[in-house]
Amino acid sequence: MDLYWGSVVTPMGGALLVGSRQGIQRLWFEDTAQGVTLAGCQRADGRAQAVFASLMSEPATTVEQFDVQGTAFQRQVWQALLEIPLGMTTTYQVIADAIDRPKAVRAVANAIGANPIAYFIPCHRVVRSDGGLGGYRWGVERKRAILDWERDRVSRAA
């Protein structure tokens, strides 16, 4: 399956990206990648940087643009995340409503937490119903920084 990995530079710090011909499979920020094994992957920093740059200039619109594994429910939630505009936030309840599962808020939160490429499938754009940031795989400070960076990008484009 021609897996590759590479180091990329993001606005939030260095990251490791794993991908295949079908798309990105995993992403970790370097400061949280302890214990990550990349056996069976060929190092290809240039390829990883090119994929990263492409997704930064033209964000994905469908889950099928990635090579991520998940249940049908998880993929449905991840697709809903891709529909949240850059610089905007929404709540777990709104995502549950959007996929016609209004009582599945906890399951939605679990699916969001299982997202293997959280930077590109933007789970950081989901906040608690009280407006609090809630949790984030890479810490609330990084979540806040990503959201601030996105809002700044949107305001500069306006």
Backbone angles phi, psi at 86, to 5 degrees: -55, 135
Rounded to whole angstroms, the Cα distance separating 80 from 9 reads 26
Rounded to whole angstroms, the Cα distance separating 85 from 81 reads 9
Concerning whether 123 is annotated as a catalytic residue, the answer is yes
At 60, the amino acid letter reads A
Closest CA to 48 of 69, 28, 75: 28
Token pair in block for residue 152: 């700044």
Token pair in block for residue 32: 């949280």
Catalytic residue among 123, 126, 146, 147: 123
Distances (CA, A) of 125 to 35, 119, 136, 142: 27, 10, 10, 12
As annotated, the active-site residues are: 123
